[in-house]
Amino acid sequence: MKKQYWMLIAMMTAGTATFLLAFLRRREAAPANPYDRPAGGEREGEFELFIGS
């Protein structure tokens, strides 16, 4: 019976560690906002994106 408790504790510890590592990795690699304007001004290049009808 004690072996089952140790296995349960090991599995819960591994799951918690995996979750915390994934959470910390996600916080460090936060993506930039894809809708930010470019640094050079409103528009760069020859093409303009038009959404609508």
* Residue carrying the six token digits 């510890």: 13
Question: What is the band of 12 on the pLDDT scale with cuts at 50, 70, 90?
Answer: very high
What's the CA gap between 23 and 15, in Å, rounded?
A: 12
pTM check: above 0.75: no
Task: Render 3-38 in DSSP notation, one character per residue.
Answer: HHHHHHHHHHHHHHHHHHHHHHHHHHTPPPPTTPPP
Residues 22-50 pLDDT 10s? 988 877 666 666 666 556 555 555 666 66
Q: Are residues 44 and 38 in contact, defined by beta-carbon separation less than 8 angstroms? A: yes
Q: Are residues 18 and 12 in contact, defined by beta-carbon separation less than 8 angstroms? A: no
